[in-house]
Homo-oligomer: A and B are copies of this chain.
């Protein structure tokens, strides 16, 4: 992999792990709001007209995202924005994605782009440029990107360079929350371990020299809270990784299922919650912002308590 002269961190760069640690401890929250907008599920005031065109839908997504950020920012440390839903609206959607990222960062929140990207080295570098690498005079678009490990170490290298230089992070898929994760991730290797254990060891290796003062690496891992036993195993295999644990709420997991993820510190795991918060208004009939804030506050308390800190 080509090394650049400017790949060294600037003296002022604080590592992603340290930034997360400081924010989690200050806000006493490990919750990340998952922004997964769908036209059909939007609050009525935003849905009206959103079917008219792609740009109208994108505008509605941006307004929904801004409203959610305003409502929940006291209770969460960041947002995880699902690229697929914005991409489905083409270039209009990507403009709304950029608006959402900027708005959330201005509100003091971390932004994780949930894109699950992965490609060979020269192309992975373009993804790093797109999301987690600062360019001349501009900040990276987001603080972290989810990535897919199937292409191996040389596909990760450009992200590591970007993380080191820009104080950003990546979350590598390790054991995902869906049922089908068994098809590849749970295949049994010749030494008896599942494939995902080996991926976890690779993640630990990739992130080994990217740890900050709090002992947390810029290279994190996605592990489904829907598999509580895997959460514990992942913690053991990747002691320095910040675990991103989707699956609480609509997918059925509970705060108790993620408790064992926090043994490396209060910020050693983050819990994204999406549908149960952003569409909470459908359950209790309250204003959508009020409903989202109440649900986020409840989850903040419950996860913090479960974490034991």
Contacts and interface: CB of A to CB of B under 8 A. Distances in A.
Interface of A: 36, 82, 84-85, 87-88, 90-92, 94-95, 97-98, 114, 116-121, 123-124, 126-127, 129-130, 141, 148-156, 173, 176-185, 187-190, 192, 195, 198-199, 202
B151 A173 contact: yes
Contacts of A173: 150-151
Contact of A87 (B130, B181, B187): B130
Which has the most chain B C-beta neighbours within 10 Å: A178, A182, A185, A190? A178
B88 A129 contact: yes
Nearest to A99: B91
5 contacts: A82-B123, A85-B123, A90-B130, A151-B181, A152-B179
Given A88-B127, A150-B176, A151-B181, 12 more contacts: A91-B92, A94-B94, A116-B117, A121-B180, A149-B184, A151-B173, A152-B178, A152-B181, A187-B195, A188-B189, A189-B189, A190-B190
When all copies of this chain in the complex are counted, the total is 2
Given A84-B130, A127-B87, A130-B88, A178 B150 contact: no
Contact of A198 (B90, B155, B187): B187
B177 A118 contact: no
Contacts of A126: 82, 84-85, 87-88
Nearest to A202: B183
Contacts of A114: 119
- Give 4 closest A-B pairs by Cβ, nearest first: A152-B180, A152-B183, A154-B180, A84-B126
Contact of A127 (B84, B129, B152, B199): B84
A155 B179 CA distance: 9
B180 A199 contact: no
